[in-house]
Amino acid sequence: MGSEDGPRDRDRRRVTVVPGGPLLVEGPVEIVTGDGRAVVSDRFVVALCVCQRTRRPPFCDTSHRRRVRQAPQDKAGGSPPD
């Protein structure tokens, strides 16, 4: 593997698809955004948002996770009645 015509193993980056989550890209990476801006990350792994809910594009900020609301408690601080 690694002829002069094709990519060598050390030049490859692994991208892992997380179901319901981000794309995990082994770094370091340079990301070119839709508007042509280049973003560089030297991190070991970079999480890229695919749900478009992030406040830090192109990076994932875990906005894809659902927030589970807890049931309201009664005034005494106990559990709500059944």
pLDDT of the residue at 78: 58
Residue 11's pLDDT is what?
77
Q: Which residue has the tokens 């309201």?
A: 72
29-62 burial: b if 16+ Cβ within 10 Å, else e:
bebeeeeeeeeebeeeebbbbbeeebeeebbbee
Tell me the HSE value of 57 on the side-chain side, using a 13 A CA sphere: 9
Query: How many CB atoms are closer than 10 A to CB 22?
Result: 22
49, 61 in Cβ contact below 8 A?
Answer: yes
Tell me: the pLDDT tens digits for 3-42? 555 556 667 889 999 999 999 999 999 999 999 999 999 9
List, for residues 41-75, the tens digit of each pLDDT value. 999 999 999 999 999 999 999 998 865 556 666 55
Confidence band of 1 (pLDDT split at 50, 70, 90): very low
